[in-house]
Amino acid sequence: MASLNEFLFVSGLLFAIGLSGVIIRRNIIVIFMCLELMLAAASLTLVAFSRFHVHNGLPDYNGQVFVFFIITVAAAEVAVGLAIIVALYRARQTINVEDLTSMRG
Amino acid sequence: MDSFVPWLLLALPLLSAVTIHLGLKKNQAVSALVSTASAAVTLVLAIILLLQKENVSVAFNWISIGGFEGIKIGLDFDQLSRGMMLVVTGVGFLVHLFSLAYMKDDAAKARYFCGLSLFMFSMTGIVLASNFIMMFIFWELVGLSSYLLIGHWYEKASAADAAKKAFLTNRIGDFGFMIGILMLWQITGTMTFDGISQFFDGAHPKVLVPSLTMLSVSILLIFMGAMGKSAQAPLHVWLPDAMEGPTPVSALIHAATMVAAGVYMMARLYFAIGTETLEALWGLNTIAWIGGITSLLAALMATQQDDIKKILAYSTLSQLGYMVMAVGLLNPEAGMFHLFTHAWFKALLFLGSGAVIFACHHEQNIWKMGGLKKTMPITFMTFGIGTLALCGFPFITSGFWSKEQILEAALKNNTSLFVIAAFVALLTTFYMFRLFFIAFLGKSRSDNASHAKEVGPLMFVPLIILAVLALVSGFQPVAESIAPAYHHEGFHFGPAFIASVLAVLIGFGLAYKLYANAEKDPLADKGLFKVFRNKFYIDEAYAKIVGYGQDTVAAFVHFFDELIISGLIVGGFSRAAGGIGRIFGRLQSGNLQGYAVLFGLGVLLVIYLTVFVS
């Protein structure tokens, strides 16, 4: 079976891909999906720690319960986030973040 | 005597002024009558009080201050104030009568009569005041009413400017006056004239007063107030300009009463302090010298004026100088006596000039008059009497008797002042007959003058009454009963008499030779006379000095305001806030991903700090 380090490496890779996507991509939906990717990376870390933190022959389920919470909240967040993007598109006819600079100080 | 009557004397003019101002602005004719009626009633009251010959004082406490004496509102009736009251109400009533005709067609007659009533109220207050605080209050009130009346025709820029100038110049004097009053309060511990008189009674002043210098300084500062109101050099500049007001106002305020208030106040002070104390002080000669110099300067300036009212204004200045000189020579009786006679004949001359100006359709230049003797016989006669009285024509005029007392006083105390006074008497005769010859004799020099008609009875009756008073008010029995202060010495033949007769003769001779048939002034633009005509360039000099002073102060204030306040303090804070705001404003790029980068960096920083640093 793969070791904890390999899980953490994949998770870090996923997080890095998500973060760079958030920073680099201009399409707001792609940015949104990258955010989800970062959440998935965090979930993966939690599950991995849970699996490898064995106590009395049983894994630590706290981490796995945490992941369920993350999935639930992420689902709710996706619903709200997509609704905001639709509303934004209706108002501005664009989903390119470079055009959304009206908050410039 | 009923204590009600004195208050009535004070309240009636105030009531009339308030009624006119609040209720009768629209009703011009009624307001004129209300004001005149109040003047008539106060005149009757003043005569009744004068005949009773009873010294009364009424007072009530206005403000009480801890352990001090408190400030009283009180009226004092003694010979000084009773006589002065007669002058104020007498001239006041005649001027009201004259004004009824003179201001007949004025659009703002109600405002004018309201001003006159206000003035009568304030002047009564000065005359009857029993203490310095009250006198100061009314002192400022006459200043206000004088301002209002000089500026009656405020549409004219020159009248508005003259009113402003009079007020500001008076303020300079009043500033000293106030400090002087407070110093005297500190020295004597009382404000009332009675109290001051009791304080100095008996004991030698050195015992009473810790520092005689302080007392002298306080008297000189109080005299500054008189310098402003009585227009003594160097604060005399406002009085000639004040002739922009209506002529009856000039007669009442700027010849007979208000400008004499300074002399009256000094006389009150001197009577209260007493000659013995005054003689122990130093520096009071300054007062006599200021009076002498004023009378000389004003008489020289009068010789070259062309405006009939300006000539009379300068002669008023010069006569006020005489009075101040007499006060300064510790002879306030002579000053008050001259004030008394001068009030009648100068009011006569001003009202006479008012009649002339009225008849000549507001022509004031004497070179455009001429030949008025035939067309205006009554004005001619009365004006002639006034001229003689002002020149001090021996024995038959009042001016002679009062001027004689001043010359005697000068001769006794100070020979150089006597020479100045005698020379001024000569100049007075010269310029008055110059005016008389040019305006009344000869041929008419303009259409306005040739079409002049004698004025109506409302105007010539006051002239006749004043002419009678100008003749008789100097005689001993009359003066003893009605003059504010009169000290009978008996006439004696001496240098003063010779000097005054010679002055009249030489002055008359010169005026006759130069002006009897003159078509234009033979002396105009000749050397020194040009300086006289331009009033010694004093106005120009003041304009320069005030200009420089103001510019310097303004430059300093500008520097302070612009650089320190605006640049450093207010502007500094605002620039600092703005600069800091601009720096942090750069962070608000509006770029979503920029924020994300910063957020990421922030998280890294927090991780670094929590994991590696602590």
pLDDT of residue B203: 67
State how far the Cα of B424 lies from the Cα of B519, in Å rounded to an integer: 26
pLDDT of residue A105: 61
**B483 pLDDT above the threshold of 90:** no
pLDDT band at B2 (very low <50, low <70, confident <90, very high): low
Q: How many CA atoms lie within 13 A of B298 on its CB side?
A: 34
In the 8-state DSSP scheme, what is residue B484? Answer: S
Structure tokens at B427: 């100049």
State how far the Cα of B508 lies from the Cα of B499, in Å rounded to an integer: 14
Backbone angles phi, psi at B308, to 5 degrees: -60, -40
Which percentage of chain A shows pLDDT scores above 90?
A: 67
Where is pLDDT greater, at B607 or B452?
B607
Which percentage of chain B shows pLDDT scores above 90?
A: 51
Judged by CB atoms closer than 8 Å, whether chains meet at A105 and B587 is answered as yes
Where is pLDDT greater, at A102 or B326?
B326
Radius of gyration, CA atoms only, chain A: 18
pLDDT of residue B174: 93
Closest approach of chain A CAs to the CA of B598, in angstroms? 10
Judged by CB atoms closer than 8 Å, whether chains meet at B592 and A23 is answered as no
Q: Chain B residue with minimal CA distance to A98?
A: B591
Beta bridge partners of B77: B56
Judged by CB atoms closer than 8 Å, whether chains meet at B586 and A105 is answered as yes
Interface of A with B (CB under 8 A): 19, 22-24, 31, 97-98, 100-105
- Reported ipTM: the value is 0.82
**B207 pLDDT above the threshold of 80:** no
State how far the Cα of B321 lies from the Cα of B288, in Å rounded to an integer: 9
Neighbouring CB atoms inside 10 A of A8's CB total 16
Domains of chain A, start order: 4-99 (1.10.287.3510)
Residues B344/B398, Cβ–Cβ less than 8 Å? yes
**B206 pLDDT above the threshold of 70:** no
| Residue A47 Ramachandran class (φ > 0 left, ψ -120 to 50 alpha, else beta) | alpha
> Contacts of residue B591 in chain A, CB cutoff 8 Å?
97-98, 101, 104
Mutate to test the interface with B, among A26, A34, A104 (most CBs of B within 10 A): A104
Give the pTM: 0.79
Residues B242/B150, Cβ–Cβ less than 8 Å? yes
Which percentage of chain B shows pLDDT scores above 70?
A: 98
pLDDT of residue B28: 86
Mutate to test the interface with B, among A19, A22, A28 (most CBs of B within 10 A): A22
Judged by CB atoms closer than 8 Å, whether chains meet at B590 and A24 is answered as no
Structure tokens at A56: 């009395």
DSSP reduced 3-state for B531 = helix
| Residue B486 Ramachandran class (φ > 0 left, ψ -120 to 50 alpha, else beta) | beta
Interface of B with A (CB under 8 A): 584-593, 596-597, 600
Judged by CB atoms closer than 8 Å, whether chains meet at B596 and A103 is answered as no
- Helices in B189-307 by DSSP H: which ranges? 193-199, 205-208, 212-229, 238-241, 247-251, 261-273, 275-279, 285-302
> Contacts of residue B588 in chain A, CB cutoff 8 Å?
103-105
Residues B187/B219, Cβ–Cβ less than 8 Å? no
Judged by CB atoms closer than 8 Å, whether chains meet at A23 and B588 is answered as no
Contact pairs from chain A to chain B, CB under 8 Å: 33
**Cα angle B469-B470-B476, degrees, rounded to a multiple of 5:** 75
Structure tokens at B209: 């007063």
In the 8-state DSSP scheme, what is residue B192? Answer: B
Element (H, E) at A54: strand A54-55
Q: Which of B311, B333, B313 lies closest to B323 in space, CA to CA?
A: B333
pLDDT band at B259 (very low <50, low <70, confident <90, very high): very high
For residue B424, which amino acid is it?
V
**B315 pLDDT above the threshold of 90:** yes
Structure tokens at B549: 């002073």
Residues B216/B158, Cβ–Cβ less than 8 Å? no
pLDDT of residue B250: 92
Structure tokens at B413: 């105390």
DSSP reduced 3-state for B154 = coil
pLDDT of residue A70: 93
Judged by CB atoms closer than 8 Å, whether chains meet at B593 and A102 is answered as no
Distance of CA B16 to the CA centre of its chain: 23
**A50 pLDDT above the threshold of 70:** yes
pLDDT band at B391 (very low <50, low <70, confident <90, very high): very high
Residue B234, preceding peptide bond in cis (omega within 30° of 0): yes
Across chain B, mean pLDDT equals 89
Beta bridge partners of B131: B192
Judged by CB atoms closer than 8 Å, whether chains meet at B592 and A97 is answered as yes
Closest approach of chain A CAs to the CA of B595, in angstroms? 9
- In which residue are the tokens 């890095």 written? A16
Q: Chain B residue with minimal CA distance to A22?
A: B593
> Contacts of residue A103 in chain B, CB cutoff 8 Å?
588, 590
**B119 pLDDT above the threshold of 80:** yes
pLDDT of residue B111: 92
Strands of B439-597, DSSP E: none
> Contacts of residue A24 in chain B, CB cutoff 8 Å?
593
Q: Chain A residue with minimal CA distance to B592?
A: A97
Neighbouring CB atoms inside 10 A of B539's CB total 14
pLDDT band at B67 (very low <50, low <70, confident <90, very high): low
Q: Which of B286, B288, B285, B313 lies closest to B298 in space, CA to CA?
A: B313
Q: Chain A residue with minimal CA distance to B584?
A: A105
pLDDT band at B205 (very low <50, low <70, confident <90, very high): low
B62-85 average pLDDT score: 82
Structure tokens at B242: 């004040």
Neighbouring CB atoms inside 10 A of B133's CB total 17
Burial of A1 (0-12, 13-18, 19+ CB in 10 A): exposed
Q: A14: which residues sit within 8 A by CB, 6+ positions away?
A: A37, A38, A40, A41, A44
